[in-house]
Amino acid sequence: MNTVISSIQARHPGIEISVIIPIGRRRSDIGELHAEYSAAFGNTGRSVEYIYVVDGRAPDASAAVSRLVEDGEPVIAVHLTRFFGESTALMAGFEQASGQIIVTLPAYRQIEAGEVCKLLDALDNADLAVSHRWPRAGGAGERIRRTVFHTLVGSITRQQLHDLGCGARAMKRRVLEEIVLYGDQHRLLPALADRQGFRTIEVKVRQSPLDRNEKGYSAKEYLHRLLDIFAVFFLVRFTKKPLRFFGMVGALILALGSLVMLYVIVERLFFGVALADRPILLLSSLMVVLGLQLFALGLLGELIIFTHAGGMKDYQIDRVIEFPHARGAGGPLRDTTGTRNW
């Protein structure tokens, strides 16, 4: 991907901000929304390009984006062959982005358009700025659901965020250069960025009065979110240390099975209790075997990680400051902040 990104940057060297807007099943009038976003970014005084990613076959959205291009707006239209989801759409848009600052915005009114400037200002002290719609609309049931979800995610990722569902974010380019999104992981982008050592800040922004999800969330969507939490739990905590996860679970099951088996053996040897027709013996044996298998799986994962460790990087360099004659270079001190990849 880096080769493609470098060539795109070379074609559009003057762009400072790339705005990626994935157009999915939920969307507002694209023409009106673009006018609002353009007015907001016009106040920043920076050069901006807008990348609309039409996720799936949506003739009305495609036509609206085409009209923007014909009107001479700084718009790039990306059309995906079918519906892939927001994470894939964001990555497809990023491949076309040339700015050093990447902003993601929803294709519907979620926050007040003028609030995006707060996200850009927050990048002075962070690598990723995420939105927290406040004050937040919704009933008591919705507030409880949000609180439970974010508390659970916070306990796993150790990040106390309050609005992971908001699609308005601003980040430095290197964040998405180091992270690959897929599935529904766009909601958990802050956790994935934190894992790479990037600094994340949450910014309170005004929620749009038109931000209403009348359909609510189905039981299937709640299940998907729970699975996403488990996936991020493993990615954040154990991607580079699989033995700690599988070994811990395997050791617990193995120890429990061994204790139950020891109890059965003691009963047989000292109290004359027969082993025949005792399901607990079969259960304890299965637990011992399962525990050993999980431990072996974790060990196999460690071997794979060790084999590929030379080509893996799990850190980011914030800045490198060289003294005048470092590596034979003369002149003043050089601060190469954010310009070097290792």
Question: Mind listing the pLDDT tens digit for each residue in 182-221?
Answer: 878 898 899 889 988 899 999 999 999 988 765 556 667 7
- Round to whole Å and give the CA distance between 102 and 177: 11
Residues 86-94 have a mean pLDDT of: 94
Spell out the SS3 assignment of 151-168. Answer: HHHHHHHCCCCCCCCCCC
Query: Which run of H or E residues covers position 138?
Result: none
Q: What pLDDT score does 64 carry? A: 96
Closest CA to 85 of 213, 182, 192, 190: 182
Q: Could you give the 3-state DSSP secondary structure of residue 276?
A: coil
Indicate whether 256 pLDDT > 90: yes
Q: Could you give the 3-state DSSP secondary structure of residue 217?
A: coil
> Residue 303 has which token pair?
């071997």
- Omega within 30 of 0 (cis) for the link into 242: no
Amino acid at the residue 238:
F
- Round to whole Å and give the CA distance between 268 and 102: 69
pLDDT band, residue 138 (cuts 50/70/90) = confident
pLDDT band, residue 334 (cuts 50/70/90) = low
pTM: 0.77
pLDDT band, residue 342 (cuts 50/70/90) = very low
Amino acid at the residue 304:
I
Pick the more confident residue, 221 or 90: 90
